[in-house]
Amino acid sequence: MFAKNLLILFSITFLAACSPHPGAGGWRASSPDAAFERLEIRYDGRADFYTRSTDKASAWRCFWARIDDQTAGLKCISAADENMERQFQLIVDAGGRNAVLKQGQNALGQYAWQPPTDP
Residue 81 domain-assigned (yes or no)? yes
pLDDT above 80 for 116: no
Q: Which pLDDT score is estimated for 94? A: 93
User: Could you tell me which residues come within 8 angstroms of residue 82 by beta carbon, excluding any fewer than 6 positions away?
Assistant: none
Residue 52 domain-assigned (yes or no)? yes
Distance CA 98, CA 80 (A): 28
Residue 86 domain-assigned (yes or no)? yes
Could you tell me the pLDDT band of residue 21, with boundaries at 50, 70 and 90?
Answer: confident
How many C-beta atoms lie closer than 10 Å to residue 28's C-beta?
14
Q: Which domain holds residue 30?
A: 2-114
Asked if 74 and 90 touch (Cβ cutoff 8 Å), the reply is: yes
Residue 119 domain-assigned (yes or no)? no
Q: Which pLDDT score is estimated for 56? A: 62
Distance CA 38, CA 56 (A): 11
Average pLDDT, the chain: 82
Residue 59 domain-assigned (yes or no)? yes
Task: Output the domain CATH number for residue 104.
Answer: 2.40.128
Distance CA 108, CA 103 (A): 7
The domain tally of the chain equals: 1
Could you tell me the pLDDT band of residue 3, with boundaries at 50, 70 and 90?
Answer: very low
